[in-house]
Amino acid sequence: MHNSSGSESAPAPTITVANLAKDYRVYDKPEGLRASITSLFHRPSRLVEALRGVSLSVARGEFVALLGPNGAGKTTFLKLLSGIITPSRGTAHVLGYVPWERANDFRRRFALVMGQRNQLWWDLPAAESFRLHKEIYRIDTPRFERTRDELVDLLGVRKLILQPVRELSLGERMKLELVAALLHEPEVLFLDEPTIGLDVVAQHTLHTFLSHIQAERQMTVILTTHYMKDVAALCKRAVVITGGSILYDGSLEQIVDRFTTHKVVTLDLEGTPEPSQMDRFGFPYEIRGPQVKLRIDRQRIADVLPEILRSQQIRDVSVEDVPLEEIVAELFRVGADRQAAEVRP
């Protein structure tokens, strides 16, 4: 950020990505004996663009949500940024390093947690895996013990670290996976659907923990998730990716302002209304017993709401933005339609 004199330049972003793309050659297996024999000599294949020229920049300390439907390219993107795979085209720098060059110093400064894959040894207690991480990352003993104790106490899992991992619940395992990932105090954390399959209590615990530890350490975090509660609880910025391309990159508030034209008004009435009572307002509505939800144009709320309040016996009323889930789902549909249009002859 520049000061008033303009003598200081803006700090370099933690993550920079320019025209990053990843293509895969997929081989199709034809049906039938004749076709199978033919495929031994000539295998039919097609090119799949998992990522198509993605560009973005992430500053130090940002907590960014990466949203998209299944197959959108989210996990591919995280694998590229963590150096697991190499790109077909484009460039990326994380903490000044090219990830797929796999420099040892780079590996010590980031962590990747994938909700559907384990980094802990399945048949051993998590404490043994923690000690292995200590050796891999060359963490001195006082620092290791201090960090481990802080993390297990924040997550309330001290009693679990001596149990074999296979005996733990999904939520308990994910908490210990996060402890393992954070032992070496990474500056960048990639989270790939860390709350998948977790119950509401476990999700809330992880939200509280991640919010605290990210703010305390000023980590840069990129989170992929299908749960909008994760996004609302943790992130101020969202990147929506569909068909391997970025469809939206901005704040959550801007998503609401940019992609919705109405608000949801919920009325709690004295009794169950007749549809004709709601038809007169000319807005889409939903009646569930004495509760009515109307979708009213944002520009008309101030004019319409007083009229509704005068004409109905109302116990309570609330005015809210359209749920984030609906907005993002609509963005996914827009992206799918755009991709379909691109492949039409």
pLDDT reported for residue 340:
64
Question: Is the per-residue pLDDT at 7 higher than 60?
Answer: no
CB 109 within 8 A of CB 95: yes
Q: What is the CATH class of 15-256?
A: alpha beta
Domain segments of the chain: what residues?
A: 15-256, 261-321
Q: Is the dihedral of CA 228, 64, 185, 73 positive or negative?
A: positive
Q: What's the CATH number for 261-321?
A: 3.30.70.260
Task: Please give the order of strands across the beta sheet that includes 220-224.
Answer: 110-114, 188-192, 220-224, 63-67, 237-242, 245-251
Confidence grade of residue 196 (pLDDT, cut at 50, 70, 90): confident
What percentage of the chain reaches a pLDDT higher than 70? 88
**Residue 194, number of CB atoms within 10 A of its CB:** 24
pLDDT reported for residue 4:
42
Confidence grade of residue 339 (pLDDT, cut at 50, 70, 90): low
Confidence grade of residue 246 (pLDDT, cut at 50, 70, 90): very high
Closest among 307, 325, 314 to 292, alpha carbons compared:
314
pTM: 0.82
pLDDT reported for residue 343:
57
Largest Cα span, the chain: 78
pLDDT reported for residue 332:
80
- In this predicted model, what pLDDT tens digit does every residue of 119-152 receive, in sequence order? 899 899 999 999 999 999 999 999 999 999 999 9
Query: What are the two backbone dihedrals, phi and then psi, of residue 270, each rounded to the nearest 5 degrees?
Result: -70, -35
**Residue 61, number of CB atoms within 10 A of its CB:** 14
Question: Is the per-residue pLDDT at 213 higher than 90?
Answer: yes
> Residue type at 337?
D
Lowest-pLDDT choice from 98-112, 163-177, 247-261: 247-261
Beta partners for residue 296, in sequence order: 263
Task: Burial-class residue 112 by CB neighbours within 10 Å (0-12, 13-18, 19+).
Answer: buried
Question: Is the per-residue pLDDT at 261 higher than 60?
Answer: yes
Task: Give the span between the Cα atoms of 116 and 174, in whole angstroms.
Answer: 10
The better pLDDT of the pair 333, 82 is held by 82
The segment with the largest mean pLDDT, out of 7-11, 26-30, 137-141, 328-332, is 137-141
Matching residue, tokens 């954390």:
189
pLDDT reported for residue 257:
79
Lowest-pLDDT choice from 92-96, 196-200, 234-238: 196-200
Confidence grade of residue 306 (pLDDT, cut at 50, 70, 90): confident
For residue 23, give Cα distances in angstroms to 48, 244, 286, 301. 6, 10, 45, 48
CB 315 within 8 A of CB 280: no
- The helix-helix angle for 200-217 and 170-182 (nearest 10°) equals 10
Closest among 301, 335, 343, 339 to 318, alpha carbons compared:
301
pLDDT reported for residue 311:
77
pLDDT reported for residue 85:
95
The segment with the largest mean pLDDT, out of 34-48, 134-148, 223-237, is 134-148
CB 64 within 8 A of CB 235: yes
- In this predicted model, what pLDDT tens digit does every residue of 310-337 receive, in sequence order? 877 888 888 888 878 888 888 888 777 6
The better pLDDT of the pair 26, 315 is held by 315
Task: Give the span between the Cα atoms of 64 and 56, in whole angstroms.
Answer: 11
**Residue 251, number of CB atoms within 10 A of its CB:** 13
pLDDT reported for residue 30:
67
The better pLDDT of the pair 272, 163 is held by 163
Question: 321-326: long-range contacts (C-beta < 8 A, 24 or more apart)?
Answer: 321/256, 321/260, 321/263, 321/264, 322/256, 322/260, 322/262, 322/263, 322/264, 322/295, 323/228, 323/264, 324/228, 324/231, 324/232, 324/252, 324/255, 324/256, 325/228
**Residue 229, number of CB atoms within 10 A of its CB:** 15
CB 265 within 8 A of CB 296: yes
